[in-house]
């Protein structure tokens, strides 16, 4: 086991942001915390990397309990935070070299430059990078010390699909190297695609934890029909769509057609449907 938490609690004043969560992260897995805004994902990550104090509970790294996250542990973890600030006037390569200089061991900055596909931007100032390029640089910095475990807190939030895909490729490369990745995201398709196990968190509590496939199987959801438009008598209304869960799609489709409803898609359930079933809420923003 790489990281384990037991009954982790965090209070901000009287507000309980984490209500006693427990989980274990195994070596070489992509473990995702999936939950909506405010679920407690950043709080969890920042406690695990030693940026915030826990209120209660136990944290273990490599089977050893840690009262404080010490320097030794910090040297084997990599971190990409949501609101990372970099020196805007430095160039990309200067930034990589600077961060590399903080550690004894690690990657050659030029190798990282290649991995994050910013070779053409080597001499560009950080302030001139696009959102996706900046985020790739942040992810690159998270593994410059060749860490054993990498924490990526919502690394793709706000990025376009192509930039998101590039970050996914970097994450998959880590995975191939058997690195342990602790990812937080509120994109269910990201969690579903990248993760070995997903921990669904809402309001500071874990509501499910398993492989994406098992989470879907155990939800007993069968077929989902998504109708364009609001039809309360058929299912749950999500924005301007209606979601219907059914184990008899054929008769439902017939019913829809009889009601002159033709704009719908039939699909397999996703983690988003699991989340909706467990919480009654949508995962999306």
Site size for ligand ATP, by CB under 6 A?
A: 12
Partners of residue 180 on adjacent β-strands: 149
Residue 151's SS3 state is strand
* Closest to ligand ATP by CB, 42 or 133: 42
* Closest to ligand ATP by CB, 35 or 212: 35
* 80 and 145 Cβ atoms separated by less than 8 Å: no
d(CA 239, CA 222): 22
Please list every residue from 182 through 201 that binds ligand ATP, using CB under 6 A: 186
- Provide, rounded to whole angstroms, the least separation between the CB of residue 44 and ligand ATP: 7
**List 1, 7, 38, 222, residue binding ligand ATP (CB under 6 A):** 38
- Provide, rounded to whole angstroms, the least separation between the CB of residue 42 and ligand ATP: 3
* Closest to ligand ATP by CB, 43 or 242: 43
**The residue count for the chain:** 285
* Closest to ligand ATP by CB, 17 or 159: 17
**List 21, 25, 42, 221, residue binding ligand ATP (CB under 6 A):** 42
32 touches ligand ATP (CB under 6 A)? no
d(CA 110, CA 117): 11
**List 29, 31, 43, 129, residue binding ligand ATP (CB under 6 A):** 43
- Provide, rounded to whole angstroms, the least separation between the CB of residue 63 and ligand ATP: 26
Query: Alpha-carbon Rg of the chain, whole angstroms?
Result: 21
17 touches ligand ATP (CB under 6 A)? yes
37 touches ligand ATP (CB under 6 A)? yes
- Residue 162: φ, ψ to 5°: -70, -45
**List 2, 25, 35, 121, residue binding ligand ATP (CB under 6 A):** 35
Q: Which residues of 61-80 are buried (b: 16+ CB within 10 A; e: fewer)?
A: beeeebeebeeebeeebbbb
* 48 and 69 Cβ atoms separated by less than 8 Å: yes
* Closest to ligand ATP by CB, 232 or 280: 280
Q: Which of 10, 149, 141 is nearest to 77 (CA)?
A: 149
**List 1, 12, 51, 265, residue binding ligand ATP (CB under 6 A):** 12
158 touches ligand ATP (CB under 6 A)? no
For residue 234, give both structure tokens.
């058929």
Task: Work out the number of other CB atoms within 10 angstroms of the CB of residue 239.
Answer: 8
CA 226 to chain centre: 25
- Provide, rounded to whole angstroms, the least separation between the CB of residue 204 and ligand ATP: 7
39 touches ligand ATP (CB under 6 A)? yes
- Cβ-in-10-Å burial (0-12, 13-18, 19+) of 162 comes to exposed
Residues at the site binding ligand ATP, with contacts judged by CB under 6 A: 12, 15, 17, 35, 37-43, 186
């Amino acid at each position: 086991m790489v990281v384990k938490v037991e009954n982790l609690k965090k209070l901000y004043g009287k507000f309980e942001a984490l209500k006693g969560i427990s989980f274990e992260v195994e070596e070489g897995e992509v473990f995702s915390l999936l939950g909506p805004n405010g679920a407690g994902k950043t709080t969890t990550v920042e406690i695990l990397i030693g940026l915030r104090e826990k209120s209660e509970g136990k944290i273990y790294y490599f089977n050893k309990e840690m009262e404080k996250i010490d320097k030794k542990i910090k040297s084997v973890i990599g971190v990409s935070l949501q609101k990372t600030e970099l020196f805007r006037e430095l160039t990309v390569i200067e930034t990589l070299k600077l961060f590399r200089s903080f550690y004894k061991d690690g990657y050659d900055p030029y190798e990282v430059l290649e991995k994050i596909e910013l070779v053409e931007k080597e001499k560009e100032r950080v302030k001139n990078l696009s959102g996706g390029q900046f985020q790739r640089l942040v992810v690159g910095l998270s593994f410059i010390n060749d860490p054993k475990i990498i924490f990526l807190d919502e690394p793709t939030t706000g990025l376009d699909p192509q930039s998101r895909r590039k970050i996914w490729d970097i994450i998959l490369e880590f995975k191939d190297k058997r690195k342990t990745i602790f990812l937080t995201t509120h994109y269910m398709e990201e969690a579903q695609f990248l993760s070995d196990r997903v921990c669904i968190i809402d309001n500071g509590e874990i509501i499910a934890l398993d492989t994406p496939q098992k989470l879907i199987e155990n939800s007993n959801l069968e077929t989902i029909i998504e109708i364009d438009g609001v039809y309360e008598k058929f299912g749950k209304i999500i924005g301007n769509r209606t979601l219907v869960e059914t184990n008899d799609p054929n008769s439902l489709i017939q019913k829809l057609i009889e009601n002159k409803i033709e704009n719908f898609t039939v699909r397999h359930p996703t983690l988003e449907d699991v989340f909706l079933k467990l919480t009654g809420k949508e995962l999306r923003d």
